Amino acid sequence: MAIQFDASKQLFHLQTNKTSYAFELVEGRYPSHVYWGRRIRGNQLHTLVERQERASFSPNPVPGRNEISFDTMPHEYPSYGSSDFRTPAFEAQYANGTTVSDLRYESHEIVQGKPALPGLPATYTESDDEAVTLLVKLRDSLTGLVVTLSYSVYEALDAITRSVSFSNESEETVQLRRALSMSVDFQHDRYDMLQLSGSWSRERDVFRRPLRPGMQSIESRRGSSSHMQNPFVALLEHGATEDHGDVYGVSFVYSGNFLAGVEVDQFRTARLFMGINPFDFGWRLEAGETFQTPEVVLAYSPEGLGGMSSIYHELYRTRLCRGNYRDEVRPVLVNNWEGTYFNFNADKLEAIAKVGSELGMELFVLDDGWFGKRDSDNSSLGDWFVDKRKLPGGLEDIAERINKLGMQFGLWFEPEMISPDSDLYRAHPDWCLHMPGRHRTTGRTQLILDMSRPDVQQYLIDTISGVLSSAPIEYVKWDMNRNMSEIGSALLPAERQRETAHRYMLGLYNVLEQITSKFPHVLFESCSGGGGRFDPGMLYYMPQTWTSDNTDAISRLRIQYGTSIVYPISAMGAHISEVPNHQVGRITSLETRGNVAMSGNFGYELDLTKFTEEEKTVVTDQIAVYKELRSLVQQGDFHRLLSPFEGNVTSWMFVSKDKREVMAVYVQVLNEPHPPLGRFKLRGLDPALNYRLLGTDRVYGGDELMYAGLAAPRFHHDFGSALLRFVAE
């Protein structure tokens, strides 16, 4: 049984194949964390936490038991106000204005399977035997607030999920001021904290630093998970590497404002927490109402950062992503954006697609500029009708032309936005996020639709459904190109205005659920100026995300490497674009651009009609190779070999599930004279198998490739790369 309760010891023990997670009920009332780490039998789990009087400034809630203090006890879900002075997981304000809660254990239930979270994305099961769920009910008897802690255990996938629901079982209103999804207290602080941070076009850089006394945290207050911070943190034991050492990851299945961090207290214990950002958040719970927090996915591995990543990759690829394309290979596409921007007509699009078809591409994507009067980014968002000046035959005509070339047709939208210069805004100026009497700040000359409103949600569902039904559209790129300001809703009363940002997310999720369910044949890709909303919440509805607007191959080394810490390769869109690159001006070879982009969902974003015959030959070969490799890339096991954050070279590899097919990529950024002769080692192979390096007569043992390694490729220029393929004999 993956979840056990020992009544005599008042101990809950959750187990995956390789992991144990345990907490106990102190005095039969207070859930107290005991252990999270390698799987153990747990004969003496109840003795792991030492209880002794620590300091006179740590109060004692149980009379006569000075060894028990909320200020020193490792909690499972700490509350505010009753002598735990560390960061609380939640805070509620009651009808009398007080904010002190006293949650005590009331009951628990163990159920087979994993219940869905109403209105929220979450990992799922395909049969009840894939997971077991523990529901622990806690009650504040004075106020009637009931808090239910939910733990779901994926035994085979080595993951545990946590979420919390708040129910008001009183006759008076309760105001939630803070509602995190999880908190874990570690017995020491000898960890490094790893985060993924950056900016637009420089997303998910890897930062690692030792824990220090006090607070260290990341957050978003931008209305989306953001380019700046990703909703993920990990704690690594000092010295942990890619393949060695304890690593604890927490990843938030949510796309809006979040908070994640660690507080180190006076006794050098560490509290790890994650959830909806309390900043400018509030939720009014009337009598009988319930509030559900989003899910956090916990992944522990003793096999370093790579071991933790593999847990997230498998779980998110197979039990978070959904739909027809979850297990299908993704098409090779060409997107016209950097090739034409807003300046195109039907003939130009058809000309690009014709070359793409000849080269072996399978999908043509029409990006921004096809609707309203959209000749730049200063108008028409919300007016989702075809611009007949550019496309006189409409979407049906251009889709038919593309289909006749043997290619699928796809389309770009930015549905959550509204331009002040649009028919929609002129008809419904109150449909955007705004505050009465306040200036409406624009970004990229646009405002944001108030997705908390049911009428706005229905408008988008009807309008987008109409467009997708008007032509054979088989791919949608769903963009979102600004963050929230003046966060208020014309439909919400004053006392609920701080609910707007979360209600926006619930409204967005409702729209996505209905549209993706109605059009299951469409491959949806999310985007927010590239990677500004690359999070597990969006992956639940759309199985891939445009990784970054920065398509430079060398920049992508860091971006794709950092993204792979949490997200499967099948989630990453990666394209070849023009040189000099439009974002950084760098010139790299078509070969290197291809080797980097082929380690994702592969495509092109340029004007194919400008290719030389030599370039067409290279691209034809690239596409042919990728079609042979894409099952391996999108569904195989991924391993990071050399980090772009640590040196001049980067390397990664893919191994098929049966360990018989291998692809490795090696990239050197700058050339240097007479460099040391280097070697690099592969991972994840079968040491007993022999592997032939394709294109040569060389055969290596799997043990040789992993333990002795390969001679590093040599280049006589900057930005050199090599793609190596091995097949087991």
Known catalytic residues? 479, 549
Residues β-bridged to residue 105? 138
Is the peptide bond prior to 118 cis by the omega test (within 30 degrees of 0)? Answer: no
Give Cα 551 distance to the centre of its chain: 20
The terminus-to-terminus CA distance of the chain in angstroms comes to 41
What is the SS3 string spanning 567-629? CCHHHEEEEEECCCCCCCCCCCCHHHHHHHHCCCEEEEECCHHHCCHHHHHHHHHHHHHHHHH
* Residue with the two structure tokens 């969006």: 538
Per-position DSSP letters for 179-205, written without gaps between them? EEEEEEEES---EEEEEEEEETTEEEE
Strand, coil or helix: 317: helix
244 burial level (CB within 10 Å; 0-12, 13-18, 19+): middle
Inter-axis angle of helices 590-597 and 553-563, to 10 degrees?
10
d(CA 274, CA 670): 39
Q: What is the dihedral of CA 371, 523, 363, 596, to 10 degrees?
A: 110
* The pair of three-digit structure tokens given for residue 446, joined into one six-digit string: 């646009």
Q: What is the dihedral of CA 526, 527, 528, 530, to 10 degrees?
A: 150
138 burial level (CB within 10 Å; 0-12, 13-18, 19+): buried
Per-position DSSP letters for 465-515, written without gaps between them? HHHHHTTTEEEEEE-------S---TTS-GGGGGGHHHHHHHHHHHHHHHH
d(CA 641, CA 651): 5
Query: Could you tell me if 272 and 235 are in contact, meaning their C-beta atoms sit under 8 angstroms apart?
Result: yes
Could you tell me the CA-to-CA distances from 3 to 9, 23, 47, 111, 112 in Å, in that order?
A: 15, 11, 19, 10, 10
d(CA 584, CA 587): 9
Query: Could you tell me if 247 and 236 are in contact, meaning their C-beta atoms sit under 8 angstroms apart?
Result: yes
Among candidate residues 467, 468, 464, 457, the one with its CA nearest the CA of residue 511: 457
Size of the chain in residues = 729
* The pair of three-digit structure tokens given for residue 363, joined into one six-digit string: 């999908």
